[in-house]
């Protein structure tokens, strides 16, 4: 029986937070259908699935849960959360809808690719082991494999090719959109709750991305604390932008669009 490790505890907390968050957002979308709520709800549900998959993989080996862990965390979550922000900020024409169609196509293509076409080395799995330490080959500076991981060490010709593209795109959209919205509300000097809320969303979106960068640099220690704090900060920011009563805007100043609309 694996011991109670810090990654396991943080993954459980992240799963609970994102499950509650996803339920709230999707219920809000059901009551008031808006495409940005649907995109955020999907992203948060995938966030929960990815964190829950890490919990399962702590105890048992499962190709399905490993594929979900990688597909959700490395490809889909940032992109779907960023898509919600794109829908908020890009309201003219069909740009946001076309981007979402492309996102759906990438998701449909990469999920079976990850699960069925990517070879997994099950012997590299160890009970209680942090997935970030064993999911790929550990390579020496000259490219020699020191320890074999669950996935091949090279991204060429595998689904790992999409990971940096989806992460960078989603993070830029989510964080950049939140910063832009906070700036607009601050410049108009209205809706202080949305200024603070968007800054929290921006910081929350940066933390998991920072954890991913550190993993690529060989330091996985920040991943799970970054995921947990990121989920909490985004939840807090969303709550502020949608549940704290807005200040009365000046009648001469139009209300800008942004997170929380």
Q: Is residue 252 one of the residues assigned to a domain?
A: no
3-state helix, strand, coil split of the chain in percent (to 5) is 70, 5, 25
Q: Is residue 136 one of the residues assigned to a domain?
A: yes
Q: Is residue 155 one of the residues assigned to a domain?
A: yes
pLDDT at position 255, please? 42
- Listing DSSP states for 63-106 in one string gives HHHHHHHHIIIIIIHHHHHHHHHHHHH--STTHHHHHHHHHHHH
Residues 101-153 pLDDT 10s? 999 999 999 999 888 888 888 888 988 888 887 887 776 666 666 677 888 65
Confidence of residue 256 (pLDDT cuts 50, 70, 90): very low
Parent domain of 67: 6-243
Q: Is residue 12 one of the residues assigned to a domain?
A: yes
Please check whether residue 78 is in contact with residue 167, taking contact to mean a CB–CB distance below 8 angstroms. Answer: yes
**Distance separating alpha carbons of residues 112 and 106, to the nearest angstrom:** 11
Q: Is residue 99 one of the residues assigned to a domain?
A: yes
Q: Is residue 207 one of the residues assigned to a domain?
A: yes
CATH number for 64: 1.20.1070
- pTM for the model stands at 0.85
Q: Locate tokens 């929380």: which residue?
A: 260
Please check whether residue 110 is in contact with residue 159, taking contact to mean a CB–CB distance below 8 angstroms. Answer: yes
Structure tokens that stand for 225 in this block: 């604390």
Q: How many domains does the chain have?
A: 1
Residues 217-242 pLDDT 10s? 666 667 888 889 999 999 999 998 88
């Amino acid at each position: 029986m694996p011991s109670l490790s810090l990654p396991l505890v943080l993954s459980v907390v992240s799963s609970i937070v994102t499950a509650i968050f996803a339920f709230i957002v999707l219920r809000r979308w059901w009551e008031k259908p808006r495409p940005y709520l649907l995109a955020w709800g999907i992203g948060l549900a995938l966030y929960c699935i990815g964190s829950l998959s890490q919990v399962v993989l702590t105890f048992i080996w499962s190709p399905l849960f490993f594929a979900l862990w990688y597909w959700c965390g490395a490809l889909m979550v940032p992109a779907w959360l960023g898509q919600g922000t794109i829908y908020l900020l890009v309201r003219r024409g069909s740009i946001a809808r076309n981007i979402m169609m492309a996102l759906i196509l990438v998701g449909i293509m990469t999920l079976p690719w990850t699960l069925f076409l990517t070879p997994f080395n099950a012997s590299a799995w160890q009970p209680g082991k942090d997935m970030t330490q064993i999911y790929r080959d550990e390579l020496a500076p000259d490219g020699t494999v020191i320890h074999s991981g669950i996935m091949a060490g090279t991204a060429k010709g595998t689904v790992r090719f999409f990971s940096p593209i989806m992460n960078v795109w989603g993070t830029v959209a989510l964080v950049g959109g939140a910063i832009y919205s906070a700036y607009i509300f601050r410049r108009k000097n209205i809706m202080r709750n949305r200024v603070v809320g968007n800054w929290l969303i921006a910081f929350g979106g940066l933390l998991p991305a920072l954890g991913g960068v550190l993993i690529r640099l060989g330091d996985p220690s920040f991943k799970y604390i970054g995921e947990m704090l990121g989920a909490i900060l985004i939840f807090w920011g969303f709550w502020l932008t949608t549940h704290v009563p807005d200040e009365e805007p000046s009648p001469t100043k139009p209300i800008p669009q942004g997170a929380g609309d």
